[in-house]
Amino acid sequence: MFTVLIVIHVLVTLALIGVVLVQKSEGGGLGMGGGGGGGMSGFLTARGSANLLTRATAGLAAAFMALSLFLAWYSTGPRDSRSFVDRPVTSQPSTPATPSPASPAAPAAPAPPIAR
């Protein structure tokens, strides 16, 4: 399911990029044109909001945000509330940590003197 959602998310992202790039720039970009008075003359007018590309952009942006939030939530999965210090060790050593009583450890031999 996660892979299907990732593929849908990528397709929505590519569609959103395409719709934004197809739109016509109004007034030179960065809000510098479009008439006097701050450049907001065509913003949210009846004709501007009825545009198909504007509605497609809004729908794709909403889908992108919803998918992003859901994927972020879904990818966290179940969390273990215990610390990693409190978790049991999964692999046990193959040799015992203490020597067996049948074979006592031999004392180490003293190091030979260094000749000068």
From first to last of the 116 residues of the chain, give the pLDDT tens digit: 888 999 999 999 999 999 988 887 765 554 544 554 555 555 555 455 448 888 899 999 999 999 999 999 988 877 666 666 777 777 765 665 665 666 656 667 777 778 77
Domain membership of residue 59 as a residue range: 1-14+54-76
Whether 60 and 16 have beta carbons less than 8 Å apart is answered as yes
Residue 2 resides in a domain: yes
Within a domain: 66: yes
Find all residues with CB under 8 Å of 20, minimum gap 6, and list them. Answer: 57
**Cα-based distances in Å from 3 to 6, 11, 45, 93, 94:** 5, 12, 40, 38, 40
Is 69 inside a domain boundary?
yes
Residue 3 belongs to a domain: yes
Q: What is the dihedral of CA 64, 65, 71, 73, to 10 degrees?
A: -170
Diameter of the chain measured on Cα atoms: 100
Q: Report yes or no on 98 lying in a domain.
A: no
CA angle 51, 55, 58 (to 5 degrees): 140
Residue 47 within any structural domain of the chain: no
Residue 68 lies in a domain: yes
Contacts for 75 with CB less than 8 Å, ≥ 6 apart: 2
pTM for the model: 0.49
Residue 44 lies in a domain: no
Distance between start and end Cα atoms, the chain: 74
Number of domains in the chain: 1
